[in-house]
Amino acid sequence: MFEILIGLAAIIALFVIISRQQSRIGLIERELGALRSLVLSGAVPSPAKPAEQAATDGKPADAFPAAAAVADLAASPASGAVSAEAPAVPAEAASGGVVAGPWDKDEAKPEAAEPAEPAAAKAARQSEVETALGTRWAVWVGGIALALGGLFLIRYTIEAGIFGPGVRLTMAALLGLILIAGGEFIRRTGFKVPVQGAAGAYIPAILTAAGAFILFGTVYAAYGIYGFIGPTLAFTMLGVIGVTTIAAALVHGQALAGIGLVGAMVTPALVASEAPNPWALFGYLAIVLAATGAIARMRDWTLLMAAAFAGTGIWTILYMTDAPGVNLSTILFINAVTLAVLAFVWLGGRGEEGPASRFDWPSIAPAFFVAFSALGLSVDPAFAAAGYALPGAVLLAAMLAVALCRQRALPLLHAAGLVTVMIYLGIIPPTTIGSDIVGGSLGVDGQPAVVSDALTRNIGIGLGLLFIAAGFWAARRWAATAWIRSASWAAWGVIAPLVVLLALWFTFGNLDRDLLYAAVAALLVVVFAVGGEWIARAEEAPLKGGTSVSFALGGAAVAGLLMLHMAFGSGWTTILIGAAAIVPALATRWRSYPVLGWISVAAVIAVLGRVAYDPTIVGAGLLSTTPVFNWLLLGYGVPALAFGFAAWQLARTTNGRPRLAMEAAAALFALLTLAMLVRHAMHGGVIDTGVMTLAEQAIYTLIAIGAGAILVAIDMRSPSSVLRYGSMAAGVASVAFIGIRHFVVLNPLFTDESTGQIPVLNLLFLAYLLPAVAAGGLALYARDKRPKWYAQMLAVVAAVLALAYATLSVRRLFKGEFIGLWSGLGQLETYTYSALWLAIGVVLLTAGVWLKSQVLRIASAALIAIAVLKVFLFDMSELEGVLRALSFIGLGAVLIGIGLFYQRLLTRAAKDADKDKQEQADSNPVRE
């Protein structure tokens, strides 16, 4: 343990020293870049060619490539192409050569200050395939061939028996060292990639990688195949090779670092031990992670850093799967090192401003694996039995602390919040999710996922308070500069505490009524509301009510919903949720937060959900049989009034889409109130799925028609698209009810339902005459206020209803209370229908002329045509004697009368037209 701490301290000290040197090198690079810009712009004379300058200075010309190579080794990736090209300007400016460092990939750009020489122009026109084959692929394949050649040489010596195992391993080690030395020699002697786009074929890095690969194989063979060395020495040597390879990547590029990292991470799997020491494993992983983090930070190698975090996390999870023989201290140690490397090495010293600071994607790896460790410690049965839930909560708190200190580590916040939610809801992948209440706790597959003890409750309270404090503080801190980060903190600041409260209520509370948890929920309402106001005052435009404020106030609304469920019974909960829609609407008088109107809409959705679950409001067993004055009136009527008031208030403040939604909700619940009261009264105080009668359907139809008229009237006083289209929807719905239910499904001709014993005020009066009058009145009222087709549709339906009432009344006159079709038709009854239809046709014609309604005149013509067809096709064959004669005589008289009426009407219209023309001519005499 002491040696591990010494190693970590040495690595951190080395990182600090190199960081200081990097800052100095960066200053030199900036000065060289400024000088290069002056040279290219022509402000200073062009540098002499290498040969001439060498002759002047008395130095050989080949010294310049070496100098360029040394300068390139000192360059940092932060200066990119500028730092790679700046040292080589004296040697290559004249020839137009392009220089690329080992970690620069296709970033070098050709010199364009002067026309290139013919040779350079010809090289630039070479095909990309030729360049790839000659520079990159040849080097890559050559490196692989060298590595395999070393292995094949060892294999050949084994098969031929030329050398013993010791000699073979020594030769392999020498070959690896020679390749590494060769790569370093070529690098130090000034190797540069002379072709643009071939930076990936950096020969020194390829040779070094091949040598490292051979050394890895040699050490493993000495341990695993021949047993020349023990596990401790093999583990140490493999680790040293891996870390050294990673360090060599500072001058050879990220690819070599990746090879070293893979070798370092695979080492623990290659070396087995009869008595594994977890401290040795995780101490070694900590050293590898810290070294990799320091090197990746110097070169800003995000992929390398992410891979190092992922490798360490994978080893941690693999170790945790060996529970219960797990050492908790080692798990906490490696996770702490992971968070420390992320916070102080990888993200330490980075700029926290600007768009680039919003998100650091390598942070996803430590966020995932540390959060997974916390999840395992909290819910795994073996860990939970050992009391490891508290250390898991400590890991979550540490993640939040790092996310607060390093704002680019936002994935830590999301991971910690998600794991907290998963722990307290019992949603634990990859098991089958099936949340249910098992023994007083939420469960997975019938087994409790959250242990129901005081420790779980206390941890939940602590995490909830931590999320609230950190979430609202961070949301306010970044409310004016980084709204995404602020919104993320505000979201988890309300989501996590609410989920914890809900889970603890299910686990420890009374699901029927629990005033203690209701008080906690009420406290959350106040905290979230005050916190939202606190955040709003820190916004760039104060009190704008951005996303963070919306999350805070939305959390307050959800907490209020939980409070009502916890404190009240079913009936009062529904009523109070509906009444609560008034609160955010009233708040718009003082604050113009966009979320306030939508909170009222959320209250509508909550009430709809409750009445859909239990239409009786309080349960069928507790619903009184008293008509009208029962829980239905309160459960539907109070929300309807509240929604209407909220719509009225929003219309005078925000006047946006929430206002339209509230208007629609008010109209809907007003209709539901009437409909449910009717249903309750007509079924003896019982709300069930009993068969609907024609009388009940008639009341629903009258309610729909009346709602359409009321909405039209309200729309005329306070125009609204919801009221306009809602009124037409109510009218169309009533027409659909009439066409389907009144005329087909519930028609007493088909059902033989009793029409009542009273001659006039009977079922036919309620189901046909009253809807006819209502539809006709709505058509007349909406004629100039709604589209023409809408008024015409209602007028036609009213006429058809009136005809149906008259026809069915005639049948009731002949048949009595029951008027089913199977009772047949008498001759006098048949004749009466013809006379009745002709009379109604004449009445419709008169009304159409008087009201100047073309629709009524067309309906009159259609009805008279039907009567004519009936007389000629049906009465001629069915009637006999005087009834047949009277049928035709009556038809003829009516038709002649109609013709005479139309002739006089048209004659009068023609005379009026001539009179108007004459008066117009007299008023405008022609002047000669």
The yes-or-no verdict on residue 832 having pLDDT over 70 is yes
The yes-or-no verdict on residue 59 having pLDDT over 60 is no
The yes-or-no verdict on residue 230 having pLDDT over 70 is yes
Residue 91 CA, distance from chain mean position: 56
Helices then strands, each counted (H, E), the chain:
38, 3
Tell me how crowded residue 24 is: count the other CB atoms within 10 A of its CB: 10
Could you report the per-residue pLDDT of 507-564, keeping only the tens digit for each?
Answer: 888 888 899 999 999 999 999 999 999 999 999 888 888 999 999 999 999 999 999 9
The yes-or-no verdict on residue 371 having pLDDT over 90 is yes
Query: In 3-state terms, what secondary structure has residue 448?
Result: strand
276 CB-near residues (< 8 Å, 6+ apart): none
pLDDT at 239: 76
pLDDT at 925: 57
Distance CA(83)–CA(519), nearest Å, equals 64
pLDDT at 147: 60
Q: Where are the beta strands (DSSP E) in 60-190?
A: none
| Residue 44 confidence class, pLDDT cut points 50, 70, 90 | very low
Highest mean pLDDT among 26-40, 705-719, 901-915: 705-719
Q: Which two tokens stand for residue 724?
A: 């306009």
The structure's pTM equals 0.67
Distance CA(567)–CA(862), nearest Å, equals 64
pLDDT at 150: 61
pLDDT at 321: 83
Share of the chain above pLDDT 70, in %: 72
Could you report the per-residue pLDDT of 67-100, keeping only the tens digit for each?
Answer: 333 334 333 333 333 333 333 333 333 333 333 3
Q: Which residues are bridge partners to 466 per DSSP?
A: none
624: number of CA atoms within 13 Å, CB side? 11
404: number of CA atoms within 13 Å, CB side? 19
Q: Can you tell me the mean pLDDT for 431-436?
A: 36
Distance CA(750)–CA(789), nearest Å, equals 31
Tell me how crowded residue 845 is: count the other CB atoms within 10 A of its CB: 20
Strands 447-448 and 436-438: unpaired
Distance CA(622)–CA(634), nearest Å, equals 14
Question: 491 vs 326, which has greater pLDDT?
Answer: 491
pLDDT at 190: 60
The yes-or-no verdict on residue 61 having pLDDT over 80 is no
The yes-or-no verdict on residue 664 having pLDDT over 70 is yes
The yes-or-no verdict on residue 430 having pLDDT over 50 is no
The yes-or-no verdict on residue 48 having pLDDT over 80 is no
Could you report the per-residue pLDDT of 180-207, keeping only the tens digit for each?
Answer: 787 777 777 765 544 444 444 456 777 7
Question: 645 vs 212, which has greater pLDDT?
Answer: 645
pLDDT at 793: 93
Distance CA(134)–CA(556), nearest Å, equals 67
Only one residue has tokens 């994935």, namely 411
pLDDT at 57: 40
pLDDT at 906: 58
CB 300, CB 408: distance < 8 Å: no
Could you report the per-residue pLDDT of 751-775, keeping only the tens digit for each?
Answer: 988 898 887 888 999 999 999 999 9
pLDDT at 348: 83
Distance CA(615)–CA(95), nearest Å, equals 87
Could you report the per-residue pLDDT of 264-282, keeping only the tens digit for each?
Answer: 788 777 766 666 678 888 8
Distance CA(807)–CA(813), nearest Å, equals 10
CA dihedral 38, 39, 42, 45 (to 10 degrees): 120
